[in-house]
Structure 1
Amino acid sequence: MKIKANGLDIEVEDSGHVLNAAADPGPAVLLIMGLGMQLIAWPPELVQGFVNAGYRVVRFDNRDIGLSTRFDAATLSLNTILGANGATRPPPYTLNDMAADAVGVLDALQIQKAHVVGVSMGGMIAQRMALNARSRLLSLTCIMSSSGATDLPRGKPEIMQAMLSGADGTDLQAALEHAVKLVQATSSPGFPPDMSRVRDNVTAAAARCRYPQGVLRQVAAARADGDRTAALAGLRAPTLVIHGKADPLIPFACGEDLARRIPGARLEAIDGMGHDLPLALIPRLLTLMAGHFAAHSKPEQRASGVIAARCA
């Protein structure tokens, strides 16, 4: 469904909410996806696991991707984003703007507080949300994300190049093959993906929305956000950092650094996990996050452990 958030049209999926106004709804979980990824990129098993545990799960398409508002007039070339030949320009929007979109989603759905989960760039947006709208978070979970510190190791150059270069060719089939290869390159070596499922997901994403121009603008926003380390020292949301030890795009050292930068943050390192959410890890991810949520939800839920138990 479309909602108005931060002055934009944002596509939202709202799952597990209580329709009976007299009933007490479970806590809300707001899921923020990463660079160029649509809301359908969240594994349905993860979403359903939270719903089964009594949570209201909200997913949305970030601006400039999926079915949300596009910034067609703000054209950017890859050379401009990378500063090639001195060609630099401020991005048309920032991660602070994207964080405000996320707050706007909560406003539109009349959700006062939520457990906020961000993946990759979505984790960076979630950090900005936690810094800019502290009262709206019950907790923060950052998965395979980073503080943006300038001395952190970079992802594998060939993967970074593949992400930025796009498909070899402009036709749909070339784009699909490029996306499949990129998923393979970033997937978890300890939990190999089902390639038929990968192809189905890539095809579904392309059918729903294929818009590489928006991805470039999101890249520009992430690059311009830079180093968040000084700000993160003041972040007060209870924070869980989950990071794979085999992440080829945002190396594990980035997760370690992020957990160190946020006061009281807890780091969960996962052997064999790359830069994806493999099906085999969904039960573990649900258990980790459900325990984190239950510790920072309503007193009666925290005492009973009901929500965490349902996810286990």
Structure 2
Amino acid sequence: MGHIPRSPQPEAPVDGAGIGSARLPSPLDSRRGPPTSHPRPFLQFRPRSAPAPGNLWVVEPHLPSLQRPVHCHRLWTADPAGQLQWLVGELQAAEDRGDKVHIIGHIPPGHCLKTWSWNYYRIVARYENTLAGQFFGHTHVDEFEVFYDEETLSRPLSVAFLAPSATTYISLNPGYRVYQIDGNYPGSSHVVLDHETYILNLRQANQPGATPHWHLLYRARETYGMPNALPATWHDLVYRMRGDTQLFQTFWFLYHKGHPPSEPCGTPCRLATLCAQLSARSDSPALCRHLLSNVSASEVRSLRPRPPLC
């Protein structure tokens, strides 16, 4: 299978002074102004200050989806509604206060329009010491997206948890997620310590005389043999699943809330699924460069495209 890169030990955060007043994110933005006569404010970062114990804040940006039809000549994809500008302001204010932040949204960043997605990715990297958790949904299945430092794309610095849906679309059991978070005490990290997922088994619930019953499907750390739920551990899990097909089949079963499709998930399907767990920004093949080895990212993704869910 080739060399499986291990995530490096956590490094000291990169000083933010180098991007202290830069427009976000040259050269990643669309190079086009917004479709309005009113100029958008520049997205600005301030130098990172030392984190301190404080409160927990929750922000809820609405993410522009890749799957919504858009008229490209009318959409300023860098920050179409000023949402990222607002997010930077909230994160900077939280950093100044020494607070921690959870972001809760619907559409995960890896499914969003490319320019917006890359801008969001840069914001996460800049505020990694303030951002304690990211929680999304939309895909209806049970997965995650790992974020890396922009300089090397090798140091895991955040993870977005994509919780399974309570709906049955597409041919799935209803499910919900419970997160265990580091508690509300002075100096708390407020990071995710573990999570557990519950499902309603429809096949059992529809048996004559049966009573619908929600039951525990799995606990993440116990099931995957993880020492913690930090970003580097989720990175390591992906590479463990690349070489361990039995472990991946467990993930595949849980990914579908206990009701996987009848078609087997062979090597191309497995690699495409694992690549998605590393792709917290859209259209970025470099994120899977070690995972895919000699297989092109476009080739693998074409074998198992993400379903249109909206």
Fold-level match, TM-score > 0.5? no
The two structures have a TM-score, normalised by structure 2, of: 0.26
Q: Which has the higher contact order (CA 8 A, sep 6+)?
A: 1
The two structures have a TM-score, normalised by structure 1, of: 0.26
Say which structure is richer in helix: 1
